Amino acid sequence: MKATCHHRLPGLGDHYYPGLGNSGYDARHYDVRLKVEPDSNKVVGSSQMTAQALQDLSQFNLDFHGCQVDHVEVNGEEAFFQRQGDELTVVPATPLQSGQQFEVAVDYSGQPTAKNSLAGPSLVGWKHSPYGVVVDSQPDGGQTWLPVNDHPRDKATYSMSVDVPKPYVVAANGTLLAVDDQGDRHTYHWSSRDPMASYLATVNIGNYLREDSVGPNGLPIRNYFPPELADKARHDFGRTPEMLEFFGNLFGAYPYEAYGVIVVNDPKAVSGAMETQTLSLFDPSMVTGDRTNEDLVAHELAHHWFGNLVSVSQWSELWLHEGFASYCEWLWLEHTQGSAALEEKATQARNSLAQEPGIAIGTPPADDLFHGQVYLKGALALHTLRREVGDEAFFAGVRNYLQTHAGEGDKNPLISDFQQAMEKAARQPLGEFFQAWLYDTQLPPAA
Ligand SMILES: [Zn+2]
């Protein structure tokens, strides 16, 4: 991109969704304070972004959908602002110098709503219902509840303080630091230690039971269940500590301060499940009491390495999240039921894929980003790669890829970076393999 003037056009260079995110600065932290009336969905919010200017800035953008912006300050000085669609343009009273750290405080109010996703026919973001609120945002719903740099290439830490009437419970990312009692209301203070992409931030408000347990190395596990589903859910999610240990041994220790799931009350808010960081969301219909959907439990946990710790640079390369999380379901199956069960799963996948026209999973349709083949053909591609290069090279290459690209958004990989890591581990060129499995539409023949 060209950088010839001192303000930046919206966008962070995403090929599929060019309006997402904004350039010119690096967001470091969001401090979000919300007063929420869950019955009417009225929200009074203030969000303070701490960021660093990456160039001289006379103005910059945030992504923000809905609500009314009441007031904007930059470094304590009132700033001019303008809204156009989902872009909030801020003009600081004093222009920012390249390298300068700055703080933007936005006061807002209204009734946040989910938005139509750019990536397919679904709603993303703040989902209000008679049950309360669920926030489920992939890929572009983060901007429905706070002004944000809404792209995984700019991760930040978050603190969230949410004031709700009793007896509503607030479950969000990270660690619950305190609940302040104010009589008939209370405020939940949540804090995320590690950088997080905006689509992984979540706030859930409703009637939930919290259950705490402990994972490997003393990792806190806190689950939130609707009271009427708690007995079944406790059993369904009961192998989480073992999964943390299993994936930790394969890919490196679980990278966050806590883990857990929330089974949301609202049956329409989440389709299946979502890997919101440190607190995965589950659709209540996934709870059966007999671990029928344990593959999904493994899938969302595995995203904490593939998607959350290491995130896409381009949304078109979602395979780097979904292919891996899907293959991790198979790895869990292999771990619990043996290698014959794994091979059976691979055969079933091949048979099912052979019955439909193939797509190039390295470039799925922009308006159908979550196409099923990104998951299923994506998992089979990884399984085939593992068989081609052998277990030792496969897992060494994957670990190396994770280490290289973990953490902040400027380290986010491309598929070509993964290919390079695997070529290095396997000591062989893999260009033909990646072309056939990721960029050709046809299903490659069985080896
Ligand atoms: Zn997934």
- 263 within some domain: yes
Mean pLDDT of the residues in the chain = 96
User: What is residue 82's three-state secondary structure?
Assistant: strand
Q: Are residues 121 and 266 in the same domain?
A: yes
DSSP 230-267: HHHHHHHTTTHHHHHHHHHHHHSS--SS-B-EEE-S-T
Q: Are residues 261 and 325 in the same domain?
A: no
- 22 within some domain: no
Query: How many whole angstroms from 346 Cα to the centroid of ligand 1?
Result: 18
- 89 within some domain: no
CA distance 167 to 183: 11
**Of 281, 302, 323, which residue is a domain's last?**
302
In this structure, which residues have their CB less than 5 angstroms from ion ligand 1? Answer: 322, 325
The count of structural domains within the chain is 2
Domain residues for the domain of 335 are: 315-439
The owner of tokens 């799963």 is 345
pLDDT, position 9: 54
Q: Are residues 119 and 227 in the same domain?
A: yes
Q: Are residues 143 and 269 in the same domain?
A: yes
Q: Are residues 377 and 240 in the same domain?
A: no
- 224 within some domain: yes
Q: Is 171 exposed, middle or buried (0-12, 13-18, 19+ CB in 10 A)?
A: buried
The one-letter amino acid at 250: L
Q: What is the CATH number of the domain that holds 415?
A: 1.10.390.10
Q: Are residues 145 and 265 in the same domain?
A: yes
pLDDT tens digits along 61-91: 999 999 999 999 999 999 999 999 999 999 9
Q: Are residues 333 and 236 in the same domain?
A: no
pLDDT, position 12: 87
Query: How many whole angstroms from 426 Cα to the centroid of ligand 1?
Result: 27
Q: Are residues 296 and 174 in the same domain?
A: yes
- Please answer whether residues 399 and 384 qualify as being in contact, where contact means their C-beta atoms are separated by less than 8 angstroms: no
Q: Is the pLDDT of residue 8 over 80?
A: no
Q: Is the pLDDT of residue 2 over 50?
A: no
Count of alpha carbons within 13 angstroms of residue 216, beta-carbon side: 16
Query: How many whole angstroms from 80 Cα to the centroid of ligand 1?
Result: 40
Q: What is the pTM of this model?
A: 0.97
Query: How many whole angstroms from 303 Cα to the centroid of ligand 1?
Result: 7
Query: How many whole angstroms from 104 Cα to the centroid of ligand 1?
Result: 33
- 98 within some domain: no
Structure tokens at 370: 């979550």
Taking residue 281's Cβ as centre, other Cβ atoms within 10 Å add up to 25
* Maximal CA-CA distance, the chain: 67
